[in-house]
Chain A
Amino acid sequence: MNFFLSYAAQLSENKLVKREKILYTAILVFLFCLIALSMMVGSVSLSGAEIWRALIQPDVSASAIIVHEIRLPRTILAVLVGGTLGLSGAALQGLLRNPLAEPGLIGASSAAAFGASAVFYFGLAAHSFFLLPLAGMCGALTAVGILYLLGGRNASALGLILSGVAISAFASALTALTINFASSYYAALEITFWLLGSLADRSMDHVYISLPGMAIGFFLILSCRQSLTVLSLGEDTAQTLGVNLVKLKALLIVGIALSVGAAVSVSGAIGFVGLVVPHLLRPYVGYEPGRLLIISAIGGAALILAADIAVRLLSTGIEIKLGVVTALIGAPFFLVLLLQMRKRIQ
C-alpha cells in the first residue's frame, strides 16, 4: 500500500516536472519571439535584414541608431521591468499568502514613483543619476513596510486590498503634489508617466541605473525560494521546519522593494502585471510559491513586452501609456479573481 502511494506521488511529481519543463520551454520560446518582434516594431519600418545588419554592425546610419539606441534599450527594459513585476508579484503573494497581493495594488509601485519623481523634479537626480532608483527603492520599501506593519501578514484579502488602496492613493497624491510644486512648466504634463508608466524613448542609461537594484532584488528574492514554499504550510510549521521567519521576511521585503523601486524609477508605475502572471502560472507549478518565482519573472517579461508592442502598434499620435494597456487587461482579470474568491468562500 505504502509502496503504491509513494509510487503515485512519484508519478505525479514526474508528471509535474515534465509539465513544468514544457511550460518553461514554451514560455521562453514565446519570450524570444516577442523580443524579436519588439526589435521589429516601431514608427519607422525596418526590414528584418536591416535590423540584423544594424545589430551586428553598429555604425552611425539611421537604422543602426534606431536599433541600438532606441529599440534595444526599450526591449531590454521591458524584459527587466516585466521580470521584476512578475517576480515581485509572485514573491509578495507567497509572503502574504494572498493571491491578490501585487506591487501595484499594495501601493509599492506608486510609492516608488513618488520617491523617484520627488528626487527628479527637485533637481537631485542631476547630481547623481543613481539617486533616482535609490529614491524609488526607499518609496517601495516604505510602502511594503507599512503594509506589513498594518498586519498584511494575517489580514484578509479585503483588508490587504483596502490598505493597499489607501497607500496607493496617498502615494499618488504625493506625486501629484510634488509635480505641482515642481518649477518646470512641463511637469504637469508628465504626471501620466509616473502614474501609468511608459518605456518610450528610454536609453541604455536607464538600463544601467536600474539594473543594479533589480539584480540585487532578484538575488534576494530567489534566495528565499525554498523557504517560501515551506512558508505556504503556515508560519508555525515553517518555523518548526527550520525556517528563520524574521530573516525570510526581511529578505523578501528588501528584495521586492529594491527591484520594484529600481524598475519603477525608470518606467513609472505599471500595474497588474504582478497579479495576472503568477495567477495564470500557479497551477502549472503545483501551487508551490517557490517554484512560481522564476516562471513568473519570465511571464512578466513576456506580458510587458507584449503590452509594449501593443502600445507601439496602437499609437498613432502621442503614445498610449503602458500602464493603460496592462490595466485594460489586468483590471477585468482582477474582478474575475475577486468573484472566484467570493464563490470559494461561500
Chain B
Amino acid sequence: MSKMGATNSRFRYCRWIGLFITPFILCFCPQFSLANPNFVVPKRVVSIHLCADQLLLALADKSQIASVSHLAKDPVRSHMAAAAKDVPVNYGGAEEVIAYKPDLILAGAQSTRTLVLALRRLSFKVIDLPLTHNFREIRSQIQKVANLLGHPERGEKLVYKINRALNRILIEKGSKRPLAAIYQPMGFTSGSGSLENTLLVSAGFENLAARQGLGTLGHLTLENLVSAQPDLLVNWMGDDPHPSLARAGYKHPVFSKGLWKIITIPQKYWACGSWYSAEAVEFLSKLRRSIVRE
C-alpha cells in the first residue's frame, strides 16, 4: 500500500512537468503496483456504485469484470453504458455481490455503510471511491483504480486525455467571466467545492451559487434566480427521461422569458466526475466564448 501512495505523489509531480514529458517518464517508471510482491491482479471485480462502474469499465480487461451496478446500463447517467451492455448487473445487495465471489469490490461514497461493513466483515476487499469534486481528485482516483486493476498505463492514458482537453481551453486574460447558475427545480444548486462548480469555473464562468457563498449542495429560490439574471442557466434535469416534479419545474413560465441562455449538459458527463468531465468543460468554454462575443 505504501508503494501505491508513492505512485500517487510521483504522479502528481509528473502532472506539473507537463503533458509531453509524462509519457517519457512513464517509460522509465517501473509499474509500481505490479512491482509490489504482494500485488495480485484481481480477476473478478464487482462494482456496486455508478461512479466506480465507469472506471472499472474503462480501465479493466473485460475478463476482469464480474459485475457492475444496474445504473451502469442507464444511458442517461452512465458514460460507459455501451461498454456495460453484456456485463452482469447487481442491485447492491450483499448476497448477490458475494455470489460473484469477487476478489475486489469497488464501492462509492454513497454505497450503504451497512453493506460495505458487512462485506468487509466477511473479509472481502472493498475499496471506497469517494465522489470527486475537482480534476486533482479525478486524476488521483483514476490512477488509484488503474493501479488496483493492474493497468496503470491505462490510467495514465485517461489522465493524459484530461490534461490535453483542459490545455485546449484558453481563457483569455482579463476576458469577461459570464455568470452561470445551475438550477434544479425544487431549488437545488451547486456551489463552491462541487464538481459542477469546478466545471463552470474551469470553463471561465462565474458560478452564481459560489458567489452567494453556497456550498456543495445549496438552495436557491426561483425568485433569487430571476433577480440574479445569470447569463447562462444549466438545466440539471434537461435530459432526464422520467417525469418528476423536479423536471416539471422547468415548465414554469419564468424559464421561457428569454432572460438567459438555458443549456443542458447530459448527466452522464457529470453524474460522476471522471475523465470525460473535461469534455464538458471544453463544451462549456466554447459556449462561454459565444456568450462573451454576444
A residues in contact (CB < 8 Å) with B: 42-44, 60, 62-63, 65-66, 69-70, 120-123, 125-126, 182-187, 189-190, 193, 200-201, 203-205, 317-319
Contacts and interface: CB of A to CB of B under 8 A. Distances in A.
Interface stretch (B80-88, B100-108, B215-223): B215-223
A69 B253 contact: yes
A201 B249 contact: yes
Interface stretch (B28-36, B113-121, B153-161, B236-244): B236-244
Nearest to B256: A69
Contacts, number: 92
Nearest to B218: A317
B245 interface: yes
A70 B243 contact: no
Contacts of A200: 187
Given A60-B259, A184-B240, A201 B226 contact: no
Given A121-B243, A123-B243, A62 B252 contact: no
B186 interface: yes
Given A184-B242, A318-B187, A319-B187, A66 B223 contact: yes
A317 B187 CA distance: 9
Contacts of A183: 241-242
Given A60-B258, A184-B240, A186-B244, A44 B223 contact: yes
Contact of A182 (B186, B244, B257): B244
Contacts of B229: 62
A271 B18 CA distance: 63
B6 interface: no
A70 B254 contact: yes
24 contacts: A42-B223, A43-B223, A44-B227, A60-B259, A62-B259, A63-B227, A66-B223, A69-B226, A69-B252, A70-B226, A120-B243, A125-B243, A182-B242, A184-B240, A184-B244, A184-B246, A186-B240, A186-B246, A186-B247, A189-B186, A190-B245, A190-B246, A201-B187, A318-B187
Given A186-B247, A201-B249, A62 B221 contact: no
A308 B257 CA distance: 26
Nearest to A123: B243
A121 B246 CA distance: 11
Nearest to B188: A318
Nearest to A190: B245
Contact of B253 (A44, A184, A189, A205): A205
B247 A201 contact: no
Contacts of A120: 243, 245, 248
Contacts of A42: 221, 223
Contacts of A60: 257-259
B224 interface: yes
Nearest to B214: A317
A185 B253 CA distance: 24
Q: Size range of the interface on B?
A: 20 to 34
B223 A317 contact: no
Contacts of B241: 183
B12 interface: no
Interface string B251-270: 11110011100000000000
A204 B251 CA distance: 11
A65 B225 CA distance: 11
A205 B249 CA distance: 12
Contacts of B242: 121, 123, 182-185, 187
Q: Which of B186, B229, B237, B241 gathers the greatest number of chain A CB atoms within 10 Å? A: B186
B27 to A, nearest CB: 44
A259 to B, nearest CB: 22
A45 to B, nearest CB: 10
B226 A65 contact: yes
B185 interface: yes
B253 A66 contact: no
Q: Which of A60, A66, A125, A201 gathers the greatest number of chain B CB atoms within 10 Å? A: A201
Contacts of A187: 242, 244
Q: Which of A65, A123, A317 gathers the greatest number of chain B CB atoms within 10 Å? A: A65
7 closest Cβ pairs, A-B complex: A184-B242, A184-B244, A186-B244, A43-B221, A183-B242, A44-B223, A186-B246
Interface in B256-294: 257-259
A226 to B, nearest CB: 42
Nearest to A179: B244
Contacts of A319: 187, 221
Given A183-B242, A190-B245, A43 B252 contact: no
A204 B253 contact: yes
A317 B242 CA distance: 26
A204 B254 CA distance: 11
